[in-house]
Structure 1
Amino acid sequence: MLEARGLRLAFGGVRAADGIDLSVMRGEFLAIIGPNGAGKTTFINMTTGYLRPQAGSIHHEGERITGLSPRAIVRRGIARSFQLPQLFTEHTVLENAALAIAARLGIWSPLAPLLRREIREEARELLARFGLSAIEESRADTLNEGARKLADIAMAVALKPRLLLMDEPTSGVAASEKMAVVETLARVLRDAAVTAVFVEHDMDVVARFADRVAVWSQGRIVALGPPATVLSDPEVQREVIGVSGAIHA
Structure 2
Amino acid sequence: MTAGVPLQDPTGPVLSARGLQRTFGAVVAAGDISIDVQAGERLCLIGSNGAGKTTFVNMVTGYLKPSAGRIVLAGEDITQRSPREITRRGVARSFQMPQLCLHLSVLDNMLTALHSSRGQGHFLRPAHDAASLARSQELLHGFGLAAHARRPVRELPGGVRKLLDIAMALTGHPRLLLLDEPTSGVSADEKFATMDTVVRAIESHQDRSPVTVVFVEHDMDIVRRYASRIAAFASGRIIADGPPLQVLEDPEVQRCVTGSAPAAQGSAA
- Pairwise same-fold verdict (TM > 0.5): yes
Shift of 1:177: 0.9
Shift of 1:105: 2.8
2:27 corresponds to 1:10:
no
What is the CA deviation profile of residues 18-61 of structure 1, one whole-angstrom value per residue up to 9, with x for unaligned ones?
00001001100000000000110000000000000010000000
2:195 corresponds to 1:182:
yes
What is the CA deviation profile of residues 103-162 of structure 1, one whole-angstrom value per residue up to 9, with x for unaligned ones?
123223246534323322221111001111111111111111111111001111002100
Which residue does the alignment assign to 2:8? none
2:126 corresponds to 1:113:
yes
Aligned partners of 1:181, 1:142: CA distance in 2, in Å?
A: 19
2:105 corresponds to 1:88:
no
1:62 to 75, 96, 112: 75
Which residue does the alignment assign to 1:233? 250
Aligned partners of 2:135, 2:104: CA distance in 1, in Å?
A: 17
What SS is found at the alignment partner of 2:190? Answer: helix
How many residues are aligned here?
A: 245
Which residue does the alignment assign to 1:218? 235
Aligned partners of 2:81, 2:123: CA distance in 1, in Å?
A: 26
Shift of 1:76: 0.5
Q: Look up the equivalent residue of 2:148 and give its one-letter code.
A: I
Which residue does the alignment assign to 1:134? 147
Shift of 1:235: 3.0
Which residue does the alignment assign to 1:195? 212
Counterparts in 2 of 1:138 and 1:65: CA distance versus 1, 3 Å: same
What is the CA deviation profile of residues 175-228 of structure 1, one whole-angstrom value per residue up to 9, with x for unaligned ones?
111111111111122222210000000011110110100000000000011111
Which residue does the alignment assign to 1:41? 54
Using the aligned pairs only, state the percent identity.
52
TM-score (norm 1): 0.94
Aligned partners of 1:111, 1:244: CA distance in 2, in Å?
A: 51
Asked if structure 1 preserves the Cα contact closer than 8 Å seen for 2:239 and 2:252, the reply is no
Asked if structure 1 preserves the Cα contact closer than 8 Å seen for 2:21 and 2:67, the reply is yes
Q: Which runs of 5+ in 2 are unaligned?
A: 1-13, 263-269
Asked if structure 1 preserves the Cα contact closer than 8 Å seen for 2:240 and 2:250, the reply is no
Aligned partners of 1:180, 1:142: CA distance in 2, in Å?
A: 21
More moved, 41-50 vs 12-21: 12-21
Which structure is higher in helix share? 1
1:74 to 81, 87, 97: 87
Which residue does the alignment assign to 1:205? 222
Asked if structure 1 preserves the Cα contact closer than 8 Å seen for 2:62 and 2:86, the reply is yes
| RMSD over equivalenced CA pairs, Å | 1.3
Which residue does the alignment assign to 1:243? 260
Asked if structure 1 preserves the Cα contact closer than 8 Å seen for 2:44 and 2:215, the reply is yes
Aligned partners of 1:212, 1:100: CA distance in 2, in Å?
A: 29
TM-score (norm 2): 0.88
- Equivalences for 1:130-169 in 2 at 5 Å? 130-169=143-182
Q: Look up the equivalent residue of 1:92 and give its one-letter code.
A: S
Aligned partners of 2:177, 2:128: CA distance in 1, in Å?
A: 28
Asked if structure 2 preserves the Cα contact closer than 8 Å seen for 1:16 and 1:38, the reply is yes
Q: Which runs of 5+ in 1 are unaligned?
A: none
Q: Look up the equivalent residue of 1:213 and give its one-letter code.
A: I
Asked if structure 1 preserves the Cα contact closer than 8 Å seen for 2:116 and 2:123, the reply is no
Asked if structure 2 preserves the Cα contact closer than 8 Å seen for 1:18 and 1:219, the reply is yes
1:21 to 14, 28, 34: 34
What SS is found at the alignment partner of 2:254? Answer: helix
Shift of 1:100: 1.0
